[in-house]
Structures are given as structure tokens and as C-alpha cells.
Amino acid sequence: MSKNPLLDGRRGERHLLLGNEAIVRGALEAGVHMISCYPGTPSSEVPDTFRRLGGEGRYRLEYSVNEKVAFEVAAGGALGGAMSLVTMKHVGLNVAADPLFTAAYTGMPGGLVVLSADDPGCHSSQNEQDNRAYARAAMLPCLEPVSAQEAHDMTREAFRLARELQQPVLLRTTTRVNHMRGPVEFDDLPAAQPLVPFERNPGRFVPVPAVARKRHAAVLDIMEQARALAESSRFNTERAGNAATRLGIIASGVARNYLADALTAGGWDDKVRVLELGMTWPLPEKRLVAFLEQCDRVLVLEEGPALLERDVRALAQREGCKTRLEGKTDSLTELGELSTTLLLRRLAEFLDCPCPVKGGNAQALELPGRPPNLCAGCSHRAVFHAVRQLFGDDAYYSSDIGCYTLGMLPPLKCADFLVCMGSSISAGSGFARASGKTVVAFIGDSTFFHSGMTGLANAVFNRHDIIVVILDNGTTAMTGHQPNPGMVQDMLGENAAHLDIEAIVRAMGVSSCRKVRAFNLKAVTSALEEMRAQTGVRVLIAEEPCALYARRQLKKTQPQVAMVKEQGPDAAHCLETLACPAFYRDGEALAVDESLCTGCMVCLQVGPKSFKARRRDV
């Protein structure tokens, strides 16, 4: 193994790091003992980097089966005295919300840091929820880095606070911060940090009602201590361009970046005083009030909902501040992401200056789209094709979270509704019961372990009527091939054990269960035909490794590729119903791009007259 600066780097070195890598280095410098996670964009590179590094015995990493479990493992670790980090995407914290709220009550003596990677703009998510709200609701100190250096520094600070206060700390990032790269200055890695020995105290750690009532008061005290720390936190900074100005801006989160760039671009640095919040909960109220009192007008800038704005308004009202407060408007909304241009426009209004933003210089053109698509050789495409040919629009398709959500696109059209991760079986059950329609639910292997198993148990228990297709590609494909319990033992290594999906399904009492190769269209189709004639819970397990995973990790490539042997309506039909990205038009003729074709040979089964196999040119 070559040396990696994340493990071997020394004090004073500077390296260009991804925000998520900077979090890893910060955690290592704090002395993290345990990391648990469920992967999800944009958080995944944190555990994946820990995995790549191996750790040389410094820490223990696990990919848990879902975020609730990951949180509970980390909480147990922190109760057992370890500095623990648990990572997930924003919607994952909903799954983990139950242990989150209670962990905040009992406290976590070893130190627990919760990374929530939010996704404003929905780059890879089903919503734009803002998890600063969890810091407020569950009572956790919250830090929000906006540069790679801060991602590093604040992760260290989060562990320091987590141990000092014994309160879980929320490290809240957004996509642009997780996936930015910037220079990070290192400190040395410490010697192994001591565990905090667990002292039995059921009166604190077992939150029966009498204990919980007492702990609620204790947590309020702890949060007041955290507030005192926020008052003097080095991550909350103030500057006044011009001592006389009575105009102020309070900025938090990634808005701090856009603000800095907009002030520079507008040449307005002298016109305002600025309070930047990096430790964003609890609020440093004294500092905020002192700032408000220096200003006649204050603009609050934050991406997403007006949480800070509402809190500052409430604080100003309580303290009798006469400052006029401004925030979200019709042009600076709660939707999506901010930008420097948006802030230039808003600041021009606020400062009553001409806006330097010129109109667009290129008209938006009508161009052919390039939506994300299932890869060439993706086994999901084969199964979706077979399902659509057999059921067409007669069935309703309950989808789930994974690459296979892309099955919604024509011509496959295999997603009619989706509630959340792990919902396909349970939501499909409810839909079938209410509508009386045939429902086919699709779920991937990792999502099945995440929270599909409980839905399946429920479907059997409550005698629901549903066909479940488990798309088992042997990995967690969408987020970058992280381990899951269904993965073959060889790829899991000795720290994890393989679980057999078919055995689980049968043990849950599903009698109609078939396992087929996804690329064998005849087998997929005949199994589904058999299931169509039955009632109750039916499960088809369609196995085939993810094409990218097969090539990159399993090092498997097919020696053959497909080619068109006969043009005509049969070939055109295959193109129109399968829509494999390896197909292209060469003038009027249909052809297969050898560099994209993985040799799955599904097109040969769809159009046997039109396609044949040939050896791959090397």
C-alpha cells in the first residue's frame, strides 16, 4: 500500500482534499475510535475514505444496514466510552430520528458526532429538508463548515464539544461542501485517545418516564453551557468594513461563501458589518443582540428555510431591539441553492446600490436532454423489460431508492410511485389493498436489508397481495459499491458475514419465491407468469452483478459483445423497448457501440433475428 497523506500527513502539511476527506482527517486528528454509517450521497465519501485507508488499527468502521442501526451502534459505542462518528445523508437522519432524540436526553459520555449531509437542490435526493431543524428539535450543538479547511477544523471541534458536554453534536454539511475541494492544513495525529469508562447509572441511561423528565431539564442546562461556548466560538466571527456603517448582515452555512464573493464582486466590503455563524446552534444570543444594536438594518442570509431569520426576529422582539430585520423575499426564496448572483441582486437592494449583474449573455437553447440513465449492461433494464412486456400498464409499479428508480424513464416506465427508502413493499401493499390493482414492487438488495425486510414481514403478516421483485445486483450500486449483507463473502472480508436473501424471504413465510438470473429473460418471464396467476405475497429474486461492479471490483468482463446482424423492424423494436445506451444510429442503421456494450446479450434475446454475438476487438 502506498502511503496516504490522510493517515501519514504531519503537522503543517497542506493537501488538497475533498470536503468529505477533510472530515475524515479532522476525525482522525480528534482520535475517533468508531465509525458507523449508511451510505448516501453526499455523505458516502466519508466512510468510503475510512474504508480505503484501512486505519492501521486506529478505528473500527462498519457499514450498518440502515441509518437507525448505524446511529444505535455509534450511540452504544459512545456509551461504551468511544469517540464515535455516524454518517448519513439528510433523509437518513429521519430513519435515525428515534435514537437521535433519546441519545440527546441521556447524553453520550464517550463523545458522539452525527454527520448529516444535506442536499439543497436535490442533486441526488427526494427532498431538500434542512437538518438544522433537528439540532433545534432534538437539542444538539450544531457546526456548519463551508470550506475544506473548516470541514477539518469543525470535525475536530465537534468531537471536543461532544466529549466536553457529553451531548451528541450535529455536523451539518450540504452537497457543495461535501463535494468541494480545497487546501487543508494538517495537525499531527494524536496517540490513541482514552475511552471514557462506562459508569452504571440507570437513573441517567435508561430513560423510563421518571428518568426522562429529569434528563429533559439536564439537557436544557447542557444547551445553555453550549450557548456560552457559542458566544466565544472561534467559528463565529465578526468584521466591520467601515466602523461607521449601520448596515449589518448575519450569514450562516454555505451562504457565507456566496456572501463573501458577492461583497467582493460588488466592491461592497466597506459598506456593511458582517456576523458569520459557523457554530449555528445554540445561537450566541448575547453576541447577536450586541450586533443588532450596532445596526439600523440587518439582513439574515441562509440557504433553505428561514430558520435563523425567524430565531433572530424572535430574539430581537424579546430583547426590544429596534433594528429592522430582513431575510427571505420573493427573489431570495427558501427553494434550492443560493448563488453569488442571487446575493448580488439581493445585496444591491439592501445596500441601495446599482446591481453589477448583467443580463444573461446566452439564450437558453432547446437541446437534446441527457438525463441520468441505467448503464449499458445494467441487469435492472433486463428485468424491467420483461416486467413491462408481461404486465404493461395493467400493473402498478411501486419503486424504491436506488439506481432502479431510473426505471421510471420511458420506455421501461417501471415506477409509478415512491414514498421513501425501503417503502416499495409496504406502500405497494397498501396501494394494492386500497385499489384492488396488481402491484409489482421493486427493491434492491441493499434497500431490502435497509428497511424492506420489515415491509415484507408485514406483507406476510397482514396477508397482503403483492409481487415483489428483489433486484439483487450484489452491491450498493448507486452510492459507489459499498458493502451490504447480501454481498458475496469474498468481497466482504473477514469483518462482515454474508446473509442469504432467499433464505430470509423463505424464513419469513413466503412460499411463492423464485430466484433467477436477471439476464435470462425467459426465466424471468416464466417466473413472473407463474406468479401472476397466484395471490398473496410473491417474491422474485433476480440476481446479476451490477455491470460497473462486475468490471471494476469483481474484474469480470465478457469476451463477447453484441452486434446487429440484420436491420429492420425487429431491430428497431429492440431499440425502442430496451433503449440500451450502447445502441446508436449510424445514419439510418442501428449499431452497437463496442466500447459501451458489456456483453449481457439481453438484446439477442429480445431480437434474436437482429442481433448476434461476436468476439470483442481488443
Contact positions vs other proteins (CB under 8 A) = 16, 41-42, 44-45, 123-124, 146-148, 175-176, 179-183, 254, 256-258, 260-261, 264, 337, 339-342, 357-358, 360-365, 367-375, 403, 406, 478-479, 575-576, 579, 581, 583-585, 595
Report in angstroms how near the CB of residue 558 gets to other proteins at its nearest: 18
3-class SS string, 388-428: HHHHHHHEEEECCCCHHHHHHCCCCCCCCECCCCCCHHHHH
Write the DSSP string, 445-492.
HHHIIIIIHHHHHHHHHTT--EEEEEEE-SSBTTTT-B--TTS-HHHH
Report in angstroms how near the CB of residue 501 gets to other proteins at its nearest: 24
- The residue behind cell 449499458 is 376
How far, CA to CA in Å, does 506 sit from each of 28, 454, 515?
43, 14, 11
CA–CA gap between residue 68 and residue 73 (Å, rounded): 9
Report in angstroms how near the CB of residue 9 gets to other proteins at its nearest: 15
Report in angstroms how near the CB of residue 19 gets to other proteins at its nearest: 9
CB 378 within 8 A of CB 359: no
Angle in degrees, 0-180, between the axes of helices 307-319 and 285-293, rounded to the nearest 10:
70
Burial 424-463 (b: 16+ CB within 10 A, else e): bbbbbbbbbeeeeeebbbbbbbbbbbbbbbebbbbbbeee
Angle in degrees, 0-180, between the axes of helices 379-391 and 569-578, rounded to the nearest 10:
110
Half-sphere exposure of residue 2: CA atoms within 13 angstroms, side-chain side: 2
Report in angstroms how near the CB of residue 136 gets to other proteins at its nearest: 26
Sheet holding 279-281, edge to edge: 60-63, 34-37, 84-89, 112-118, 169-174, 142-143, 279-281
Report in angstroms how near the CB of residue 504 gets to other proteins at its nearest: 28
Judged by CB, which is closer to other proteins: 305, or 480?
Answer: 480
Phi and psi angles of residue 557, each rounded to the nearest 5 degrees, phi first:
-130, 145
Judged by CB, which is closer to other proteins: 6, or 321?
Answer: 6
Judged by CB, which is closer to other proteins: 106, or 610?
Answer: 610
Cis upstream peptide for 42 (omega within 30°): yes
Judged by CB, which is closer to other proteins: 368, or 493?
Answer: 368
Report in angstroms how near the CB of residue 360 gets to other proteins at its nearest: 5
Judged by CB, which is closer to other proteins: 247, or 478?
Answer: 478
Judged by CB, which is closer to other proteins: 341, or 438?
Answer: 341
Judged by CB, which is closer to other proteins: 331, or 363?
Answer: 363
Distance from chain centroid for Cα 279: 22
Q: Mapping DSSP to helix (H, G, I), strand (E, B) and coil, where does residue 139 land?
A: coil
Report in angstroms how near the CB of residue 147 gets to other proteins at its nearest: 7
Q: Helices marked H in 482-562 — which ranges? A: 489-492, 501-507, 521-532, 547-552
Report in angstroms how near the CB of residue 192 gets to other proteins at its nearest: 32
Judged by CB, which is closer to other proteins: 180, or 383?
Answer: 180
Which residues contact residue 309 at a Cβ distance below 8 angstroms, ignoring those fewer than 6 apart? Answer: 300, 302, 325, 327, 328
Judged by CB, which is closer to other proteins: 129, or 340?
Answer: 340
Report in angstroms how near the CB of residue 176 gets to other proteins at its nearest: 5
Judged by CB, which is closer to other proteins: 179, or 297?
Answer: 179
Report in angstroms how near the CB of residue 50 gets to other proteins at its nearest: 17
Judged by CB, which is closer to other proteins: 106, or 147?
Answer: 147
CA–CA gap between residue 238 and residue 273 (Å, rounded): 7
CA–CA gap between residue 328 and residue 304 (Å, rounded): 9
CA–CA gap between residue 550 and residue 491 (Å, rounded): 12
